[in-house]
């Protein structure tokens, strides 16, 4: 891989930020063992990258340990021979990452469908996974049961032909009941584990509608046209309406003992391979509903 724009960053930090699933200590070990080199030379973990540096990384760094099946309460909304629609719970990581190889959605999918009952061209550690939700984001996801289905669904996502609507509880009240947010999004140059609105990068588009509001808080429906990492959380923070409970982007003190964002994928719709438009809806889970009622944002 060739470095183009991340000058003066430590090599171990750069790789850790680029591949979040790999523990930094493992990266340091690989550097010391010369399995990670820069410009074909041995370097230290503290080496600071320069523009046009060329990084070599041994493929062994990305090897995935065996993922074992685990029984979990999977909420199946719909399924056929090609895909399943599930309603993901909070506090569930979608796929193994780094030292986390148990308790993920993938472990549960392998238990229910078997490895051969899922697509496997999206990565050895991601059988069936076409798209992701953050650990504490709940709601609808589509799972591919075979490789042909994965290719079809992946194309739909990449060409923006999947309709996705989320519900979020955010800080503040809006001057306009509806709006469109369109800008560019990329890694935050000050913290590469975060995303940020930037002057360049990949286009990110969200549309929102305020459903209900009380003093200081709003219930919002958000339609994402693109699907960038943390898109809703970044977009709402950028317009000064961070999600309640968001520990990464919100940084707003509340009276609630809440350590994760209140965000739920409530609607998913797409046209299947037979030309039929399928749509699915699911109400938010108990934690979301709890705070929605506490704040007076319930129906």
Tens of pLDDT along 66-79?
889 999 999 999 99
From its phi and psi, is residue 201 left (phi > 0), alpha (psi between -120 and 50) or beta?
left
Q: How many residues does the chain have?
A: 299
Check pLDDT > 50 for residue 1. no
Q: What pLDDT digit, counting tens, does each position of 78-112 carry? A: 999 999 999 999 999 998 876 778 899 999 999 99
Q: Minimal CA–CA distance to 217: which of 158, 280, 295? A: 295
The answer to whether residues 182 and 204 touch, using CB atoms and an 8 Å cutoff, is yes
Tell me what pLDDT residue 180 has.
Answer: 97
Check pLDDT > 70 for residue 21. no
Is 284 exposed, middle or buried, given 0-12, 13-18 or 19+ CB atoms closer than 10 A?
buried
Q: Please give the DSSP secondary-structure letter assigned to residue 243.
A: B
Which structure tokens are listed for 87? Answer: 């309603």
Check pLDDT > 60 for residue 5. no
Backbone angles phi, psi at 185, to 5 degrees: -135, 140
> What are the start-end ranges of the E strands in 115-227?
138-144, 163-171, 178-188, 191-198, 202-214, 217-224
Instruction: Name the residue with higher pLDDT: 122 or 7.
Output: 122
Tell me what pLDDT residue 3 has.
Answer: 47
Tell me what pLDDT residue 2 has.
Answer: 45
Tell me what pLDDT residue 275 has.
Answer: 96
* Cα 135 from chain centroid (whole Å): 8
pLDDT above 70 covers a percentage of the chain that reads 96
Residue in the structure block whose two tokens are 């600071």: 48
Task: Map residue 98 onto helix, strand or coil.
Answer: coil
Residues 211 and 208: their CA atoms lie apart, in Å, by: 9
Q: Minimal CA–CA distance to 125: which of 104, 147, 148, 146? A: 104
Residues 282 and 52: their CA atoms lie apart, in Å, by: 48
Catalytic residues: 134
At residue 63 the predicted structure's pLDDT band, cuts being 50, 70 and 90, is confident
88 forms beta bridges with 139
Which residues are CB-contacts of 50 (< 8 A; sequence separation ≥ 6)?
3, 7, 8
Q: Minimal CA–CA distance to 49: which of 111, 4, 98, 94? A: 4
Work out whether the CA dihedral 20, 22, 27, 30 comes out positive or negative. Answer: negative
The answer to whether residues 166 and 133 touch, using CB atoms and an 8 Å cutoff, is no
Which structure tokens are listed for 32? Answer: 């010391």
Q: What pLDDT digit, counting tens, does each position of 248-260 carry? A: 998 777 778 888 9
pTM here? 0.83
Instruction: For the chain, give the mean pLDDT.
Output: 91
Q: What pLDDT digit, counting tens, does each position of 210-239 carry? A: 999 999 999 999 999 999 999 999 999 999
Tell me what pLDDT residue 13 has.
Answer: 83
Please give the C-alpha separations between residue 148 and each of 11, 154, 268, 276, in angstroms, as whole numbers.
38, 10, 20, 17
Q: Region 266-274: what's the mean pLDDT?
A: 97
């Amino acid at each position: 891989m060739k470095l183009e724009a991340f000058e003066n960053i430590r090599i171990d930090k750069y790789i850790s930020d680029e591949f979040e699933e790999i523990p930094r200590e493992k990266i340091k070990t690989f550097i010391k063992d010369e399995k990670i080199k820069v410009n074909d030379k041995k370097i230290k973990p503290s080496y600071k990258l320069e523009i046009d540096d060329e990084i070599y990384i041994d493929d062994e760094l990305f090897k995935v340990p065996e993922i074992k099946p685990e029984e979990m309460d999977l909420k199946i909304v719909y399924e056929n021979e090609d895909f399943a629609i599930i309603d993901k719970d909070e506090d569930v990581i979608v796929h193994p990452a780094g030292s986390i190889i148990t308790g993920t959605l993938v472990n549960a999918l392998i238990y229910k469908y078997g490895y051969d009952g899922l697509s496997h061209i999206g990565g050895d550690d991601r059988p069936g996974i076409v798209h992701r939700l953050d650990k504490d984001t709940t709601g609808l996801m589509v799972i591919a049961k075979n490789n042909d289905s994965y290719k079809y669904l992946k194309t739909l996502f990449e060409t923006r032909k999947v309709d996705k609507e989320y519900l979020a509880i955010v800080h503040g009240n809006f001057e306009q009941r509806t709006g469109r947010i369109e800008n560019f999004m990329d890694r935050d140059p000050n913290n590469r584990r975060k995303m940020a609105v930037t002057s360049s990068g990949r286009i990110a588009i969200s549309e929102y509608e305020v459903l209900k509001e009380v003093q200081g808080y709003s219930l919002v429906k958000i339609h994402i046209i693109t699907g960038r990492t943390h898109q809703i959380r970044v977009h709402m923070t950028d317009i000064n309406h961070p999600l309640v409970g968001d520990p990464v982007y919100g940084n707003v003190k509340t009276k609630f003992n809440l350590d994760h964002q209140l965000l739920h994928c409530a609607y998913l719709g797409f046209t299947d391979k037979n030309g039929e438009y399928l749509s699915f809806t699911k109400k938010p889970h108990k934690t979301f509903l709890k705070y929605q009622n506490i704040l007076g944002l319930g129906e």
